[in-house]
Structure 1
Amino acid sequence: MVSLSRFMGSFVCGALSRFARDRRGNVSVIVVFSILPMLICVGGGLDVVRTYNVRVKMQADLDAALVAAVRELGTSDEAKIQTKVRQWFEAQTAANDGAYTLGAITIDKANQSISAKASGSVGTSLMSLINVDELPIDVRASVRGPSTSYLNVYIVVDNSPSMLLAATKAEQDRMQAKIGCAFACHTPEGTRTVDGITFSDNYTYSQAAGIRLRSDVAVDAATKVIDLIDVADKEHRAIKVGLYTVGDAAKQVLAPTFSTATARTKLKSKTDGMNGATASTATYFDKSLPQLQDFVGTAGDGKTADQPLKLVLFLTDGVQSQREWVSTNRWIGRQVAPLNPAWCAGMKTNKATLGVLYTEYLPMTWDWGYNATVGNSMAAADWNAVYGGVMRSGVRGSTTRQAYLPYALEDCSSSKDLFISAASPTAITTGLAKIFNTYLGTVRLTQ
């Protein structure tokens, strides 16, 4: 009698022998054994892609946190800056339920930079089958802003007759009603008698009547920038400020200096040239802007005091004009036109950054002089023939010169975010400061 063990052994061996000789199921067997590695490979690829996407988001969050904090280098202590970085980073990554950890934050006030690193992990899916439950992530970032380098700020104010426009609509109407003109010009055109009092010119009347002019608002705007310089550079070791005017020529009122107190004194002076009391009689941008270029010179990299970065803040209505050009004679009146942006190019070629605040030239359709010049078309100005100007593609020649001014001045600026158009006194006063802050906020990611 055959034992049970011998029977079972013979049965198993026979079954295995028959399975080995059978060719009908080999493909299925191979597929079965291949499924797991294939799933792991596909799942691993998906895990790696997801980890990469999370890392990109994490890097952007860290960059944003440092960019938000770098503006406070000159105004906050290190502990507050570190807190701001953490709060901003945590706010950006809140959706990840704390999966990220912000590590060391390094603040270098000497070089005015902030560095930080962050780490985290992403849970895997099918890679867990081979005991890989998560993939690590590490990112680093470092930022430095131009406000922390050596910087010369050139505040340039248009002091032409058109900047002597009454600052508000109400004051323009008042000027028009009293003396028949909304501009407080110095140009001798006969005396003005108002309520029994005789004034030598429009400007004298405006001052006696307490009417604020755009030239007054321009001084307010410049003062606002100086206030911001005091905040950004409390020790007055990095940022210099200079004061300039453009009209019939470019004039240096104050060479770049660390003394913001001196700059404020010059702005308030009635004799130093920054306000309406000493306005020029014409605006020749084709002459004054190249002259300004010579004053500004070539910008450096900001790393040393003798190689400062250079920021030009230009406040203007952008109209090339003189009083005698206001005429219905086409050949004379065509000279009143927007400045040619090519006249700004030299400063930009010399690596200076040019920010422009356009003090909007308000339409005065009831005035014959406006209608014959600024209110007339670009085609009638013969802009290319007279000044070499090239209009933007797609802008019609029928566009009025007043409507084309923002195009010309935006093209004069270094970039769109350094151009602002403003009409009200408040918008003008804050506009130049906004451009300054925009420049200070354009930080450079160094890592």
Structure 2
Amino acid sequence: MRNIWRDRNGNFAIMTALLAVPLFGAAGVALDISQALVVKEDLQKAADATALAAIAKNSPYVIEARKMSGDGPIIAQGNVSMDFFNKASADHGDDFVVTNVALKVNKTGNEVESYVEYKATVNTTLSQLLNMEFFTVSGKATGKYVTERYTNFYLLLDNTPSMGVGATPRDVATLVANTRDQCAFACHDVSAGANSYYNLAKKLGVTTRIDVVSKATVALMDTAADMRLVPNQYRMAVYTFGEKAEDTKLLEVVPLTADLALAKSSASKIDLMSIPKQGYDNDQQTDFDRAMTQIGSKMGLQGDGNSAVTPEKVLFFVSDGVGDSYKPTICTKRTTGGRCQEPIDTKLCSALKSQGYRIAVLYTTYLPLPTDGWYNQWISPFQSEISGRMQDCASPGLFFEVSPTQGIADAMSALFKRVVTSPRLSG
């Protein structure tokens, strides 16, 4: 026996056997913790979705909140608490079990807040070597919806000469067929008088892009009037790029007002910018940089939207997305004589969004004009970038592109509704 105890042969195998269980157990814990974190991430997404669903505009909780005369917890028919969690469970199979979900909705003033808490047990694999059969994960999400959110809309409407293009392919074809130089633009050339393409378009019954935008803006005022729940909930200001090319500037067509009927009447008079003669100022009338900078100074400090005194400020931008201005050094595309033709420079949009403003963008698709030599040389090379730049300018979820055959009025109304009915996660 004395010799056996002294014998050290095979000690590595013995030590390995003794350490195998804790080593595999430790590795298993690391793997199982990683799996638990994946599950928690998916459950957190489910909790966020549940919190938002509970305070969606037409949810039973928000409907009940509008009926309440005072503050307090909301009791409503309907249960959204498990829908998203059940989907998460289905995606993971038997990896975990949701043991508890609690949803509470409270109303305070004009705010409806949702609170979601969850707990789940995540099954383990190798961790069971250490007698750990499951891990517990938990989390919470909160959402906030203002039943009467007060919002000031600042509409920036592109009325520069490029918006004189025919509104549909048929309108474009009509202009091309009836102009000596096959021009698709109804240029408001004052020097041509009654013979201007602007007047020709009117005579031929051609609808231009600015005509459609003007009518859509008028219809938007009706949408806002129909949707407001309390007086002064929505106020509108309307701006264009100027009445005439000799005085391009941010032109206030409608000063900020809650009188939507007045705004509607004034918006109906929006027209294409006039030019004194063909080629005036090298056609540099679409200065997005200046317009974005100037309208930012008009909006003032951002508010929380909880009252008429602290309204949320939203920029509502409608354009075909192509700038044309004098930018000899900072143009994102090649220039000619300092003239810069480019998609919108999104740095200006980012500067506004950094101040808390939301930007809703309605992009009226810039039509390819293959019969136009100017288009082929200067715009066609970046045609594919225009839509993406306009989308990058918009705040998340607030971008619409409208082709010539679609309804600009319907798109503008839908975009407005998206702005005013979006609940948000608050924590």
TM-score (norm 2): 0.69
Q: Take 2:389 and 2:356, find their aligned partners in 1: how far apart are those partners?
A: 20
CA contact (8 A) 1:144 1:444 kept: yes
For 2:309, the equivalent position in structure 1 comes to 306
Q: Distance in 2 between matches of 1:409 and 1:44?
A: 48
Q: 1:242 aligns with which of 215, 237, 240?
A: 237
Contact conserved, 1:100 with 1:120, CA < 8 A, in 2? yes
- How far is 1:140 from its partner? 0.7
Work out whether residues 115 and 143 of structure 1, in 8 Å CA contact, stay in contact via their aligned partners in 2. Answer: yes
Deviation sequence 1:184-231 (CA, Å, 0-9, x none): 444345566xxxxxxx75445544554322123213543565566568
Question: Aligned to 1:357, which of 338, 362, 370?
Answer: 362
2:5 to 7, 22, 38: 22
Matches within 5 A, 1:113-262: 113-125=113-125, 132-144=132-144, 150-178=150-178, 180=180, 181-188=183-190, 190=192, 202-204=197-199, 206-207=201-202, 209-222=204-217, 229=224, 234-235=229-230, 238-247=233-242, 248-262=248-262
Equivalent residue number for residue 86 of structure 1 = 82
Comparing 237-246 with 146-155, which one deviates more in the overlay? 146-155
| Residues 1:50 and 2:35 are matched in the alignment | yes
Q: Which residue of 1 aligns with 2:406?
A: 426
Shift of 1:443: 6.1
Asked if 2 retains the 8 angstrom alpha-carbon contact of 1:293 and 1:346, the reply is no
After TM superposition, list the pairs within 5 Å mapping 1:234-383 onto structure 2: 234-235=229-230, 238-247=233-242, 248-267=248-267, 269-270=268-269, 274-275=270-271, 279-281=273-275, 283=285, 285=287, 288-302=291-305, 305-317=308-320, 318-320=322-324, 335=339, 337-338=341-342, 341=345, 347-348=352-353, 350-367=355-372, 371-372=373-374, 374-377=375-378
Report the alpha carbon displacement of residue 57 of structure 1 after superposing the two structures with TM: 1.9
Identity %: 23
Q: Please state how far the C-alpha of 1:173 moved relative to its aligned partner.
A: 1.9
SS in 2 for 1:314: strand
Give the Cα–Cα distance (whole angstroms) in 2 for the partners of residues 405 and 30 of structure 1. 68
| Distance in 2 (alpha carbons) for counterparts of 1:48 and 1:345 | 39
Q: For the Cα contact (< 8 Å) 2:111–2:145, is it kept in 1? A: no
SS of 2:33 mapped into structure 1: helix
Report SS of the residue matched to 1:72.
coil
C-alpha spacing 1:58/1:167, structure 2 compared with 1 (3 Å): same
In the alignment, residue 174 of structure 2 is paired with which amino acid? R
1:53 counterpart SS class = helix
Q: C-alpha displacement at 1:142, in angstroms? A: 1.3
2:157 aligned counterpart, secondary structure: strand
* Paired AA for residue 115 in structure 1: Y
Which residue matches 2:330? none
Equivalences, count: 384
Give 1:60's aligned residue: 45
Match of 1:392 in 2: none
Q: Distance in 1 between matches of 2:395 and 2:314?
A: 13
What is the alpha-carbon distance in structure 2 between the residues aligned to residue 293 and residue 156 of structure 1? Answer: 11
Deviation at 1:38, TM superposition (A): 5.1
Residue 14 of structure 1: aligned partner: none
Cα 1:129/1:183, change in 2 over 3 Å:
closer
1:301–1:34 Cα change, 3 Å: same
Partner Cα separation in structure 1 for residue 398 and residue 58 of structure 2: 22
**Distance change >3 Å, CA 190–CA 241, structure 1 → 2:** closer
Distance across 1 between alignment mates of 2:170 and 2:344: 32
Which of these residues, 103, 119, 123, is aligned with residue 101 of structure 2?
A: 103
**CA 1:112–1:264: 2 relative to 1, 3 Å:** farther
Work out whether residues 153 and 235 of structure 2, in 8 Å CA contact, stay in contact via their aligned partners in 1: yes
**Alpha-carbon deviation of 1:156?**
1.5
Alignment partners' CA distance in 2, 1:361 and 1:46: 53
> 1:89 aligns to what SS in structure 2?
helix
Q: Which has the higher helix share?
A: 1
> Aligned in 2, Cα 1:280/1:235: closer, same or farther, shift over 3 Å?
farther
Q: 2: CA distance between counterparts of 1:58 and 1:125?
A: 20
Aligned-partner Cα distance in 1 for 2:143–2:162: 43
SS in 2 for 1:152: strand
Q: Following TM superposition, by how much is the alpha carbon of 1:141 offset from its aligned partner in structure 2, in angstroms? A: 0.8
On the 8 A contact 1:145/1:440 being kept in 2, the answer is no
TM-superposed CA distance for 1:167, in Å, is 0.9
Residue by residue over 1:351-379, the C-alpha shift from the partner in whole angstroms, topping out at 9 and shown as x without a partner, is 43334433344343434xxx34x54348x
Is the 1:154–1:243 Cα contact (8 Å) retained in structure 2? Answer: yes
Structure 1: 5+ residue stretches without partners? 1-17, 193-199, 323-330, 379-398
Task: Using the TM superposition, name which of 429-438 and 305-314 deviates more.
Answer: 429-438
Change (3 A) 1:127 1:187: closer
d(CA) in 1 for partners of 2:135 and 2:384? 58
CA RMSD of the aligned region, Å? 4.6
Post-superposition offset of 1:101: 4.7
**Compared with structure 1, are the counterparts of its residues 426 and 189 closer, same or farther at alpha carbon in structure 2 (3 Å cutoff)?**
same
Structure 1: how far apart are the matches of 2:390 and 2:134?
55
* Counterparts in 2 of 1:343 and 1:55: CA distance versus 1, 3 Å: closer
